[in-house]
Structure 1
Amino acid sequence: MNKLALLSALCSPLAIAGPITQIEIENNTVLFSTSSMAPSSVACVAEDKNQLRSISLDSHSGRAMYSLLITAVAKQQAVAVTSAQDCADLAGVERVQSLRLAPNTSAGNSNARSIGLYASDGITRIGTLVDTAHSKNSAYDSGRYRWTYIDNEGGVDYKTLTISYNSA
């Protein structure tokens, strides 16, 4: 089931990866664009902001996505953006539902330049991170974080690490 969800996310026309070309913060909302981002077709988007996407810093998932953006800029890697199809974070700007860090497949790429997933010792690298997600069940104040990675052992299958939590 996880492979099917990952495959559908990777094949989505709204998730074309590209390097970040602009990033700014307006109030508590991150605005950014990528070189591959098509103008938004969502009805609520203002004409002068159709190349921007928004992420709210008021949520855990928004702060995690902002960290992913900053990491992508620092590592010069592309991100794939999936739309939430609304303007809930900032009027006139399309909201992001999820981000995916695109693996750097350029010649000469090494693990030293990719985002890694490490064992609890902080030293042993177990894979290269390719996707993150967060879901929250507000009725029970619980949720789940999910990281998808490619195994360093040369496997071609994606692997998933999931952590569930209760805030109460």
Structure 2
Amino acid sequence: MASKRGVILLVDDNVDDVELTLMAFEKMQLDADIIVAYDGLEALDYLFGTGRYAGRDVRELPRLVLLDLKMPRLDGLGLLKRIREDERTRYMPVVMLTSSTEKRDITESYQNWVNSYVRKPVNFKQFEEVSKQLGLYWALLNVTVPGGTHL
């Protein structure tokens, strides 16, 4: 069962980055359930109720998807495209949280309607602060489209 603030879907194959993000969210006592997917295919299973998430109520969309760019099986851009192509998830907030500073990656992310592109800091304290700020804004302040399917 989701908390009153909803779910944040964290999609990242780097276990250390996942742990740092989870620690930052825990430290700030973010009132949200955090679901971790370690690649784009696992995230699709969660979003659309397939694979190990078969039977999940897919009407309950995450308030936010934090998405790494470089991952195995299905990378961040591939997942972003699939999210934006589907009527059910089209308006769901997606933030690219990645170490890439390549102009091509930034441009393609925005061309595919990412809501924000944030570079992962290397320093732990900065990473923690960035995670806190993302959680505060996107999970607490941002207003999403009701049901995620229409304006």
TM-score, normalized by length of structure 2? 0.25
Higher relative contact order (CA 8 A, sep 6+): 2
Which structure is larger by alpha-carbon Rg, 1 or 2? 1
Between Structure 1 and Structure 2, which shows a larger proportion of helix residues?
2
Between Structure 1 and Structure 2, which shows a larger proportion of strand residues?
1
TM-score, normalized by length of structure 1? 0.23
